[in-house]
Amino acid sequence: MTAFVRACGLSELEDDTPKRVEIDGTPVAVVRTEGEVFAINDICSHANVSLSEGEVEDCQIECWLHGSAFDLRTGKPSGLPATRPVPVYPVQIEGDDVLVSLTQES
């Protein structure tokens, strides 16, 4: 069974503005965009920098340091210099609670 834990409140999320949270020691960027909420590992696979400090557009989060963008649905990079995906995590919404499971979707 997949264990979901509360990451933050839905009311704490602004559209297209990543929120960094830590779940069991794992940094996670939680993003509300295009009417959905996504959770993606907060560390860029190319450099050890926080993705939650980047911008969100077209369901992608961009690393502010070198410009690689990662699909919020799959974690796959859409361009160089990153070549490896970052983990994405299942999300459930219960009332105002955003619940995340560290079980990877992809």
DSSP codes of every residue in 48-106: S-BGGGS-EETTEEE-TTT--EEETTT--BSSTT--S---EE-EEEETTEEEE--S---
At 11-55, the pLDDT tens digits run 999 999 999 999 999 999 999 999 999 999 999 999 889 999 999
As a whole number, mean pLDDT of residues 89-104 equals 94
Confidence at 80, pLDDT banded by 50, 70, 90? confident
Q: Could you tell me the sign of the dihedral formed by the alpha carbons of 71, 77, 79, 81, in that order?
A: positive
Q: What is the pTM of this model?
A: 0.93
**CA dihedral sign of residues 46, 41, 29, 33:** positive
Q: What are phi and psi of 9, to 5 degrees?
A: -90, 145
